[in-house]
Amino acid sequence: MADDFRTTEVGDRYAQALFDLALETGRLDAVRADLKSLKAAWTESADLRRLATSPVIAAPDQAKGLVAIAVKAKFEQTTTNFLGLLGQNHRAKDLPAVIAGFEARYAKHAGVVAAEVVSAQPLDAKQVAAITAALSKSLGKAPELTARVDPSILGGLKVKVGSKLFDASLKTKLDQMKFALKRA
């Protein structure tokens, strides 16, 4: 599900429109906060994903559902209207790509370096602080860190900064060892 959050051409166009509107109206940070909440909800809620991606749900119903979610979550009016438009245009399935595109534009605009850390188990505050400090030192500025748990990596960490992925997971090391043994 976290892999859903990649930009696409359509998602990018909608992200640009939302970013421009939010910037123009001075609601950039509020819309960004709404999209962060929506990203978390997308990851956690199978019902939201079903609403947005089901081909049997009519566009007006998708729009109503997304707007109802936005109203219940007390999202910014700009975000609420945008979600209604996305649903109405039958583009709700592109929501993860829109969020990814918006996040990229926001990071570039604000000079923020986003980093995602994937671990096999939840990280405690001390571990997050240590990772943040190490990334700050190597990047030259403090990153905005997102932590995610993926038990399939078995141990270690995966750190993604921009398009660069640093994979120090146990699963990858085992796969590399298996490959090396096959070649020997």
We report the CATH number of the domain holding residue 84 as 1.10.520.20
Tens digit of each residue's pLDDT (9 = 90 or more) over 26-53: 999 999 999 999 999 998 999 999 999 9
Structural domains in the chain (count): 2
Q: Is 124 found in the same domain as 101? A: no
Global pTM? 0.71
Q: Which domain holds residue 21?
A: 9-109
Tens digit of each residue's pLDDT (9 = 90 or more) over 142-165: 888 888 889 999 999 999 987 788
Compute the residue count for the chain: 184
Q: Is 115 found in the same domain as 103? A: no
